[in-house]
Amino acid sequence: MDKRLKNSLIVTAFGVILFAALMHIAELSAFLGRVFDLFLPIIAGLIIAFVMNVPMRGFEKLMGKMFKNARKKPSQKLTDGISLTLTILVVVLIIVLICTMVIPELVVSVKQAAKEIDDKIPLLIEFLQKNGIDSEFITEKLSSFNLEKIFEGLSENAGGVLSSVTDAAAGAVNGVVNAVFGIIIAVYLLLSKRELAVNCKKLINAHLKKKTADSIIKAAKAVDDTYSKFFSGQCLEAFLLAALMFIAFTIAGLPYASVVAVLTGVCSFIPYVGAFVAVAVGVVLTLFTDGIYKAIICFVVFEAVQFVENQFIYPYVVGGSVGLSPLWTLIAALMGGKLMGIVGMIFFIPLMAVISTFIEADIQRRLAKKAAAAEGTDNTEIASADTPDETEISQAAVVRDIQTQTGSGRTNNSSDSRRKGKKRRR
């Protein structure tokens, strides 16, 4: 089949399929939803395995260092099993600590902040009235609701909402099956990740060209390395930053140390943006409860901790794992937030780093190719300039022939003259 005809048929078939899909968009959406529900346990298992593989690698490296000089080293399967068990225990321990220590402290801090803000609202209205600012609009809006009651209702209903969600998930057979199968799939993936990696490489090399297969494997390795470095470094950096912030706020006698510390740790996953959000919340809460003097101290302490973290912790813990400029980081955070919320902000930053790495590599490859082509053209021009062409060679040959003939004629004439002179003398 002719190549042009084949391309035309492909384009026509694609247009027909696209038109049919747009005409039946509702049925297509329902079909895709059913397919997604069908593969939901597998997708959940892949995500869980990908996230848990980061600390699992850390435990594997730690065990490798422990048994480096041992005579009898544990097998790879035993190392994987122990690392996975330790990872699950750490995850469960973190969840238990958050539920028993952090959340109750956050609830108490939020209630206290709501009460303090509610008490300071009359002082704010009085200040506005003294300075000739119309506060009637603010008074009407504030009189319609009570901040303390709102925060109390949210904090009181948080446990109910969580329990209702848990009960609904436990009662829904589909949800339970998806969760169980997702965890089981994640465990099997983590225990057999090396065999799966080898089989995937074989499958790719068997069905694709070598160049395409190498590109896919290289891209997959770049994605895995970038996400692993980002999550491992950011988790450790978030924990250290939250601990430093809590200690600094406690020593300085500032309120809401736990709230600001937890918020700072969570927002640290969004570079250049999370710090502004955390400091803004901390300063505003301190301003409403303890006045402008404490708010200034809060800002100074926060910036001091951030300076220590940026200079001495972040370069060694996270380093250049992401390597994005502030502009691209903001773009990635905005795109991820619009599409998937907070989770999208976290996942889109390393994704943007991977894309920028591929683009930069492609640019370097194309520039190198152009430079090599330009260098080859220059060498060809130099060689053609140094080497005479055929016309010059033929002209030089004609000149040499004429000179040779002229020289031989002169030689013959002189020899004839000498012979005639000899005859006359005789």
Closest CA to 105 of 250, 226, 207, 267: 250
- pLDDT score for 23: 85
Q: Round to whole Å and give the CA distance between 16 and 32.
A: 19
Q: How far apart are CA 426 and CA 422, in angstroms?
A: 6
**Over the stretch 370-415, which tens digit does the pLDDT of each residue have?**
888 887 766 655 555 554 554 444 555 544 554 555 454 444 444 5
The identity of residue 49, as a single letter, is A
Q: Are 241 and 313 in contact (CB under 8 A)?
A: yes
- CA count, 13 A, side-chain hemisphere, 369: 6
pLDDT at 300: 92
Q: How far is CA 328 from its chain centroid?
A: 11
Residue 138: per-residue pLDDT: 59
Taking all residues of the chain, what is their mean pLDDT, rounded to a whole number? Answer: 75
Q: Tell me what pLDDT residue 319 has.
A: 53
CA distance 329 to 126: 43
pLDDT > 90: percent of the chain: 3
pLDDT at 97: 75
Amino acid 76: pLDDT: 82
3-state helix, strand, coil in the chain (%, to 5): 90, 0, 10
Residue 73 carries which DSSP code? P
Query: Residue 257 in 3-state DSSP?
Result: helix
* pLDDT of res. 410: 47
Q: What's the rounded mean pLDDT across residues 81-101?
A: 84
- Whether residue 25 has pLDDT greater than 80: yes
Angstrom distance (rounded) from CA 45 to CA 181: 7
Which pLDDT score is estimated for 162? 55
Torsion of CA 354, 356, 358, 359, to 10 degrees: 160
**Which tops the pLDDT comparison, 326 or 75?**
75
Q: What is the pLDDT of residues 133-157, one digit of tens each?
A: 655 655 665 555 555 555 555 555 6
Find the largest Cα–Cα distance for the chain. Answer: 153
**What confidence tens digit (pLDDT) does each residue in 63-78 have?**
888 888 877 888 888 8
8-state DSSP, 75: P
The HSE-up count of residue 52 (CA atoms within 13 Å, CB side) is 28
pLDDT at 160: 57
Output the CA–CA distances (angstroms, integers) from residue 422 to 80, 411, 413, 417, in the order listed: 115, 17, 15, 9
For 127, 129, 144, 284, 347, the CA distances from 137, given in Å and listed in that order, are: 15, 12, 11, 22, 42
Q: Is the pLDDT of residue 264 over 80?
A: yes
What pLDDT does residue 255 have?
A: 82
Residues 93-107 have pLDDT tens digits of 877 877 776 667 667
Q: Which residues contact 260 (CB under 8 A, 6 or more apart)?
A: 245, 246, 249, 254, 278, 281, 282, 285, 298, 302
**The Cα angle at residue 404 between residues 398 and 405, in degrees rounded to 5:** 90
More confident position, 360 or 86: 86
CB count in 10 Å sphere of residue 259: 23
What confidence score (pLDDT) does residue 141 get? 58
Q: Give the tens place of pLDDT for each residue, 204-247.
A: 989 888 888 888 888 888 888 877 777 777 778 888 888 898 89
pLDDT at res. 325: 65
Phi–psi pair at 396, nearest 5 degrees: -65, -35
DSSP-assigned letters across all residues of 102-136: IHHHHHHHHHHHHHHHHHHHHHHHHHHHHTT---H
Cα→Cα distances 164→6, 160, 172, 178, 359, Å: 57, 6, 12, 18, 47
* Cα–Cα dist 102/341, whole Å: 23
Give the per-residue pLDDT at 89. 92
Give the CB-side neighbour count of residue 224, counting CA atoms within 13 A.
15
